[in-house]
Amino acid sequence: MGQDNKRVAQEGRADIHAKITDRIIAALEAGVRPWVQPWNCGHLKGPITRPLRHNGESYSGINVLLLWSETVSRGFRSPMWMTFRQALELGAHVRKGETGSTVVYANRVTKSETADNGDEIEREFPFLRTYTVFNVEQIDDLPEGHSSIVPDVGKPAVNRIAAVDAFFAATGAFIRHGGSKAYYAPGSDMIQMPPIEAFRDLESYYATLAHEEVHWAGASHRLNRDLSRYAKDRSERAREELIAELGASFLCADLGIVPELEPRLDHASYLGSWLSVLQNDKRYIFQAAAQAQRAVSYLHDFQISACRVVA
């Protein structure tokens, strides 16, 4: 029976190692180096730290990679994590619907065994188990000191454009800042943006936000562009990205923004697809421009509604 338990434990450890290794391989195949610290993009300045436990202690080893990867992919800004129970003990609670992140705990246990000659001997056995933690941005009602975000130290002030901020605020889109990627997530109906300080200039930030808001406007419960094949069909993804590119250009012109855009790495791969689409469908540029204009007009309509409310 003892040998059976040992075999099961070894298989469990191997399964955990395989799962974690597969995650890192997948990240590398996607062009993400999980050992590179988050928040190191562009012009974002400020202290960088390892992921922290609820008591302020740093995680180490594989857990640093796991939580850094989660921080980047999910757009968290705080380095602090805790378990569901630790949150409860602090009088806080994990928000309904939030999903946790996996970390591992490794240690050794000492057990007494009877040797073949009858002597009692002490042997050490390694064990490995997983548990789930939540970033403090997923937890409500935390006491002061447990909900801090990495402080912005030494960063120059950003002189935002009030009228442009008001334009995007009027749309009511849920925008979350953090991480190093910009995207619209249809499932959660959320726009993810890197911090404004991470961009070359203010105009580039607004142009990127305009791009994501054009995606947001196309959701099924808004303009109902067919985004169902976006993640699966490279051609359909390229078509949607072209609409967003055009819409962002239109909107920037409307808002008086002249961005000096840095090429987005995720769009370099679309160039060939855009050429293919346009070469094979001479009408598509007209269709894309019409869809882009429709999205921009939709976003402008929120400004009219806002003015009516104020009036």
| C-alpha to C-alpha distance for 151 and 12, rounded to whole angstroms | 39
Predicted confidence (pLDDT) at residue 178 exceeds the cutoff of 70: yes
| Alpha-carbon separation of residue 74 from 57, 77, 236, 246 (angstroms) | 22, 9, 24, 27
Pairwise pLDDT comparison (127 vs 269), residue with the higher score: 127
| C-alpha to C-alpha distance for 30 and 105, rounded to whole angstroms | 27
Q: Are 109 and 127 in contact (CB under 8 A)?
A: yes
CB atoms within 10 A of CB 59: 19
- For residue 168, report the phi and psi dihedrals to the nearest 5 degrees: -70, -35
Question: Percentage of the chain with pLDDT > 90?
Answer: 24
pLDDT at 270: 57
Closest C-alpha to 199, from 162, 160, 165:
160
Return the domain boundaries, the chain: 2-140, 162-310
38 pLDDT band (50/70/90 cuts)?
very low
- For residue 124, report the phi and psi dihedrals to the nearest 5 degrees: -100, 140
21 pLDDT band (50/70/90 cuts)?
low
Predicted confidence (pLDDT) at residue 193 exceeds the cutoff of 80: yes
**Tokens, residue 184:** 């619209």
User: Residue 30 class from Cβ within 10 Å (0-12 exposed, 13-18 middle, 19+ buried)?
Assistant: exposed
Alpha helices in 119-161, H assignment, sequence order: none
Q: pLDDT of 105-122, one tens digit each?
A: 877 777 777 777 777 777
Helix (H) or strand (E) holding 244: helix 234-255
List the strands of the sheet with 183-185, edge to edge.
174-177, 190-193, 183-185
**Helices 202-217 & 284-310 angle (0-180, nearest 10):** 100
* Mean pLDDT for the chain overall: 76
This prediction has a pTM of 0.54
pLDDT at 34: 52
Q: What mean pLDDT is predicted for residues 177-195?
A: 90
| C-alpha to C-alpha distance for 246 and 253, rounded to whole angstroms | 11
272 pLDDT band (50/70/90 cuts)?
low
| C-alpha to C-alpha distance for 122 and 110, rounded to whole angstroms | 6
pLDDT at 43: 38
